[in-house]
Amino acid sequence: MSTVTLKNIKKVYPKSHNDNKHNLKETAEGVLAVDDFNLEIKDNEFIVLVGPSGCGKSTTLRMVAGLEEITGGELYIDDVLMNEVAPKDRDISMVFQNYALYPHMTVRQNMEFPLKVQKKKKEYIDKKVEEAAEILGITEYLDRKPKALSGGQKQRVAIGRAIVREPKVLLMDEPLSNLDAKLRNQMRAEILKLRKRIHTTFIYVTHDQTEAMTLGDRIVIMKDGVVQQIGTPQEVFDNPHNLFVAGFIGTPQMNFYDGRLLEDNGKYTVEIQGMKVALGKEKNERLKANGVVSQDVTVGVRPEHIVLAEGDNVIRSVVDVSEMMGSEVHLHVTANGQESIIIVPTNVIRGRSVMDSGAEVDFSFPEEVVHLFSKETQNNLEY
């Protein structure tokens, strides 16, 4: 029900002697866990923070919650500065990875707790708890203790406890990562349903890019405490702004090749292992606008955009292994020492021998699926 604004948010942890194994920047005061985080979250928006372990997702979330002090920058909820406001006065609730249910209370008592603390009327509490239990399908467990519940049920209770209060902002820190794959898919769908039913701003942390892509209205990709890109799932998938985002989003991973970008009179061509791809109008314009000159580049192409091809202007490769996935086949191939994955619809190669190890396949790709990254900055040359 609220907007959340993060302005130049920064977090410095005091240096500890025992761990030096992170990639974080160190300053005089300590380790820079989050640096210059800017984000405006709209009312009722579902934001996902995603990135590899240790990139500062939890730290950011905990700063929003008030569980971690903000070293620098400003945090606003509904345009009110929150930096110095105590967690209990922020009207935020949070779902923890380890559920954080009170073991000595029943499910009902757990869910009642936030309302009891607020000294709400008993009828109101009963109504809210039972509504939430209904939404989450845990009505029959209301009188059980948490230890008599499965992981998925515990997480539902934790979500229930977080929503009974109708908080302005609902924070979730890897809520599904303790669940097995099947349950995780199921709960992901439930969270999608939940968000249709309750009117709250969500901030959701995960290291799983599939979760991020399926749940988020917008996703924030972080690495080493620094935001790499913010955008809708479609945007970050189609237009990754740097090499890291390109490799992080999408499974199987994007293929990368060493290539050379050649500029000739405002027309760009990219050359990869002897194959020449002339870029189209759009790309030419964008590259030209950025003043890109001829240079060595990293070329990124998604496995599903590669096509098997014939002729001279192709990349020649040898199949290492192939994985039959049902409707499609993943071919792992090596071309001039560079590995790539090609996704081919099963019916295209039916009856052909390309699937066997050692088979030779030639492939190419259309110009519009090519991503060009600077060798120097690793940024996408088009943006």
Partner 1 sequence: MDVKNPKSPSPKKGILRTRKSKRMAFALAILLPFAIWMLVYMLIPLASVIFYSFTDAKMGYDRQNFVGLYQFQKMFSNATAMISIKNSLKAALVIVPVSLLLSMLTALGLDALSERSSKVYTFAVFLPNIISLTAACLVWRWIYHGQYGVLNFLLNLMGIPSQQFLKSQAQAMYSLCAIHIWSVFGYYAIILLAAIRSIDKSLYEAASLDGASYWTQFFHVTLPMLKNTLLFVGIMLTTSAFMFFTPVQLLTNGTPGTSTYVMLFYIYQQGIEQGNTGFSSAMSLVLMLIILFFSLIQWILTTEREPKPRKKTAVKKEAEAA
Ligand X SMILES: Nc1ncnc2c1ncn2[C@@H]1O[C@H](COP(=O)(O)OP(=O)(O)OP(=O)(O)O)[C@@H](O)[C@H]1O
Structure tokens at 98: 């380890």
CA distance 366 to 270: 12
Residue nearest to ligand X (CB): 58
- The pair of structure tokens assigned to 109 is 């008592």
Burial (Cβ within 10 Å: 0-12, 13-18, ≥19) of residue 160: buried
Stretch of 16-24, 106-114, 253-261, 336-344 contacting ligand X, by CB under 6 A: 16-24
Q: Rule CB under 6 A: is residue 209 a binding residue for ligand X?
A: no
Candidate ranges 20-28, 64-72, 306-314, 368-376; the one touching partner 1 (CB under 8 A): 64-72
Under the binding rule (CB under 5 A), the answer on residue 58 touching Mg ion is yes
Question: In the chain, helix, strand, coil percent, each to 5?
Answer: 30, 35, 35
Cβ distance to ligand X smaller for residue 22 or 330: 22
Nearest distance from C-beta of residue 309 to ligand X, angstroms: 40
Instruction: Point out which span in 50-58, 73-81, 84-92, 372-380 binds ligand X (CB under 6 A).
Output: 50-58
Q: Parallel, antiparallel, or unpaired for β 315-324 and 360-364?
A: antiparallel
305 binds ligand X (CB under 6 A): no
Among 4, 24, 277, 344, the residue binding ligand X under the rule CB under 6 A is 24
Cβ within 8 Å of residue 305, ≥6 positions away: 365, 366, 369
Interface stretch with partner 1, choices 101-109, 309-317, 319-327, 367-375 (CB under 8 A): 101-109
Site residues for ligand X, 52-111, by CB under 6 A, read 53-59
Instruction: Decide whether 227 or 341 has the Cβ nearer to Mg ion.
Output: 227
Q: Given the complex with ligand X, which of 58 and 110 has the nearer CB atom?
A: 58
For 52, counting Cβ atoms within 10 Å of its Cβ (0-12 exposed, 13-18 middle, 19+ buried), the class is middle
Determine contact, residues 203/181, Cβ cutoff 8 Å. Answer: no
Q: Report yes or no: 51 and 248 within 8 Å, Cβ to Cβ.
A: yes
Number of residue whose CB is nearest Mg ion: 58
Q: How far is the CB of 242 from ligand X (least distance, A)?
A: 18
Output the smallest distance, CB 220 to Mg ion, in A.
14
Residue spans of alpha helices (H) in 36-171: 57-65, 107-117, 122-136, 151-163
Give the Cα separation of 18 and 23 in Å (integer). Answer: 15
- 10 Å Cβ neighbour count for 275? 20
Complex with ligand X: residue 15 or 104, whichever CB lies closer = 15
Which residues within the stretch 27-46 sit at the binding site for ligand X (CB under 6 A)?
31, 33
Site residues for partner 1 per CB under 8 A: 65-67, 86-90, 92-94, 96, 98, 100, 102-106, 108, 113-114, 117-118, 123, 126-127, 130-131, 134, 142-143, 145, 161, 165
Site residues for Mg ion per CB under 5 A: 58
